[in-house]
Amino acid sequence: MDLLFGRRKTPEELLRQNQRALNRAMRELDRERQKLETQEKKIIADIKKMAKQGQMDAVRIMAKDLVRTRRYVRKFVLMRANIQAVSLKIQTLKSNNSMAQAMKGVTKAMGTMNRQLKLPQIQKIMMEFERQAEIMDMKEEMMNDAIDDAMGDEEDEEESDAVVSQVLDELGLSLTDELSSECPQLGLGFPSQHCLPQGALTPPSLQTSHPLEAH
């Protein structure tokens, strides 16, 4: 019957129904094969018993019965293998149908998303994102400049002077020696006034003003 509760069965329902029928047939074949194998063992035991008793006519008859029994066992095994092959094909059809249904759903979802995401809207969003990113970069740069101005460069200069002094100490030199070697010498062996470090005393020979002018 192709109708279920007054409606036509779907392909999935038909596949499940046929799959159940094939599984039931394989179970019946297995039961019959097991019965024949049990009968085969009994016939072999009877043949041995009759052979010991010397009843060769009965042995020949039971030998023919044993051959027929073994032939039916092989036939049942072959039938079960064929049914198993059909069952695997049905299982493959079910898997392919499930994959097709899944692909159908995915395709429908992709179509819906593509209809919702309009290209002009995406371009507008990207342009707005770039504009906001530029504004954020400008504000960050302005904040960094303001922080640098507030902090000043005095700490950097003091730190650099400390580094220079440390390097000269390691070399066994002093800042005055370095300046003396780099600045041009005057007649009395003193460096020129503009090469002296800040706060250093000016040699008397370089003092052009009269001491009284300070008053």
Q: Is the pLDDT of residue 153 over 80?
A: no
Is the predicted pLDDT of residue 189 greater than 80, yes or no?
no
- What burial letters (b/e) apply to 115-152, b meaning 16+ CB within 10 Å? eeeeeeeeeeeeeeeeeeeeeeeeeeeeeeeeeeeeee
Residues across the chain = 215
pLDDT of residue 204: 44
Lowest mean pLDDT among 95-104, 148-157, 180-189: 180-189
The Cα–Cα gap between 199 and 161 comes to: 15
pTM of the model: 0.46
Examine the pLDDT at 82 and tell me if it is beyond 90: yes
Contact, 90 vs 22, CB < 8 A? Answer: yes
Tell me the average pLDDT across 198-206: 45
Structure tokens at 193: 């006034």
* CA 89/CA 95 separation, integer angstroms: 10
Mean pLDDT of 133-149: 85
Give the pLDDT confidence of 11-37 residue by residue, as tens digits. 778 888 888 999 999 999 999 999 999
